[in-house]
Amino acid sequence: MLRKALKACLSILVVLLAEKYRPKRLEDVQGHDSVKQRLRRWIEAWLKGKKQKPILLYGKIGIGKSSLAYALANEYKLDAIVVSPSQACDASHIKNLMPKVHMRRNLWGQLPIIIFDDIQALSGQQDRGAIPAVIQLIKESQIPILLTAEDPWDPKLRDLREKVELVQMRKLSSRQVLAIIKRIAASEHIKISDEALKQIAEASDGDARAAINDLQVESVGYRERQNDIFATLRTIFKTTSLKSSVAKIRSSDTDLDTIKMWLDENIAKEYEKGGEVAKAFDYLSRADVFEGRIHSRQYWGFLRYVALLVAAVSVAKKEPYHKYTKYTYPQYIKEMFKTVMLRRKIKEVCAKIGRRLHLSPGEVWDDFPIYGRVVLSDKEKAKAFYRLGDDELEFIESLIKAEAALSSGQRRSGRRF
Ligand SMILES: Nc1ncnc2c1ncn2[C@@H]1O[C@H](COP(=O)(O)OP(=O)(O)OP(=O)(O)O)[C@@H](O)[C@H]1O
Ligand SMILES: [Mg+2]
């Protein structure tokens, strides 16, 4: 159960498609051609040793401001030091940046760039003194500084505005958003009609992040799958024909594992005679055995038998029951719903770790057993370095334990996810 739930967390929500497909290079960023050109000229001048005014990229949310800044740093192999509002950063943090930057420059030999991502949020109540510190840094610094903001005419940014070159990024057209989500749908093999993609793009109002999130929700295809699984259950439970059950399983969009779990949950609700229930469970457990063999021997030919044994649940009964049964969700799905909070927490923790290591939360999660153990190896240091609280460290510990239990379970059963 837990294994399934964790796996589902991982594949559905922790790996946000918007993060996974964050542009790596300028050419991956849809639109904004003149802005890209400006940024190229700006950074190439810096690389030739010509000091340039910092650039403040501004425009509506989800159009690629941060993406453009990161892609520039990545493409020109700059050593990016990112300051973002989630770091709860104050004046002293900003003042301490320069010595750190110099040290890193000596160490890596790369041109550093400081990216103040979402400078408006940085200027909030909590971070009093942050903006004057940024202005001071701009005056003294000899390295490229890139800033992003939604609205540079925010009065809090008045003094800063004069010290930077304002570069506007226009709202994306729905055609551009469509191009972004189309590409993602194709590489994720998401089955979705062109019409549905168009609707998402139009509803996004130029916010690519929102559109990608919508696409992700669609890809989970929650409602359709629900209908599909209920129809599959009805066929298996209400007929005594092996042939129709096999056919239904084959044509179903729901994978066999999920069908098995639903059957497992509902057999005892549908069948009333003890013998039938036992027989039905027996078929399911034999299906499990064959599945285990598929994984351990990589012999996919057995898949047929698995489907057949699952379908055999329909012949465990003598007669169909002419009654209405309210089929219920498998326990693991209930668990998953309960874990929305868990998933959010995983993301937060991974974001904190990733921020320090210049990794996306998804990348941290991919190798969580490694990063988690590194963090736990020196908790005090980790608290300060990653800005993790005691509860978060405890949480990491519990995840690592769960992971260890899962991987030993996997070894025992010879199965993979
Ligand atoms: N122009 C674009 N081309 C390709 N992908 C984009 C573009 N704009 C946004 N995205 C996608 O949307 C996600 C969010 O974009 P990004 O963080 O760059 O937006 P932003 O303008 O900085 O928004 P915010 O104002 O909320 O910080 C990215 O990870 C990327 O997947
Ligand atoms: Mg941003």
Instruction: Give the pLDDT score at 342.
Output: 72
What gap in Å lies between CA 130 and CA 113, rounded to an integer? 18
Residue 395: band (very low, low, confident or very high) from pLDDT cuts 50, 70, 90 = confident
Segment 112-161, tens digit of pLDDT: 999 999 888 777 645 568 888 899 999 988 899 999 999 999 888 999 99
> CATH fold of 32-168, please?
Rossmann fold (3.40.50)
Instruction: Give the pLDDT score at 205.
Output: 86
- Nearest Cα residue to atom 7 of ligand 1: 64
Instruction: Give the pLDDT score at 315.
Output: 95
Mutate to test the pocket of ligand 1, among 21, 63, 171 (most ligand atoms within 8 A of CB): 63
Average pLDDT score, the chain: 83
What gap in Å lies between CA 338 and CA 20, rounded to an integer? 25
Q: What is the CATH number of domain 223-328?
A: 1.20.272
- Nearest Cα residue to atom 17 of ligand 1: 66
Average pLDDT (373-395) is 87
Instruction: Tell me, using a 6 A CB cutoff, whether residue 349 lines ligand 1.
Output: no
DSSP annotation of 27: G
Distance 119 CA to ligand 2 centre (A): 10
Average pLDDT (326-331) is 80
- Write the single-letter amino acid at 354: G
Average pLDDT (372-399) is 86
CB 332 within 8 A of CB 5: yes
CB 117 within 8 A of CB 66: yes
The answer, yes or no, to whether residue 377 has pLDDT greater than 90, is no
Instruction: Give the pLDDT score at 124.
Output: 64
CB 95 within 8 A of CB 133: yes
The answer, yes or no, to whether residue 13 has pLDDT greater than 50, is no
Q: What is the DSSP string of 171-189?
A: PPPHHHHHHHHHHHHHHTT
What gap in Å lies between CA 301 and CA 291, rounded to an integer? 10
- The pair of three-digit structure tokens given for residue 341, joined into one six-digit string: 């909070």
What gap in Å lies between CA 134 and CA 214, rounded to an integer? 36
Average pLDDT (259-285) is 93
Q: What is the DSSP string of 328-397?
A: ---HHHHHHHHTHHHHHHHHHHHHHHHHHHT--HHHHHHTHHHHHHHHHHTHHHHHHHHT--HHHHHHHH
The answer, yes or no, to whether residue 401 has pLDDT greater than 80, is no
What gap in Å lies between CA 367 and CA 403, rounded to an integer? 11
| % of the chain beyond a pLDDT of 90 | 42
- The pair of three-digit structure tokens given for residue 198, joined into one six-digit string: 């168009």
Q: How many residues does the chain have?
A: 417
Segment 46-70, tens digit of pLDDT: 999 899 999 999 999 899 999 999 9
Segment 186-241, tens digit of pLDDT: 998 888 889 889 988 988 889 998 888 888 767 765 556 667 788 999 999 999 99
Q: Taking the complete model, does pTM exceed 0.85, yes or no?
A: no
The dihedral through the CA atoms of 6, 7, 9, 14 has a sign that is positive
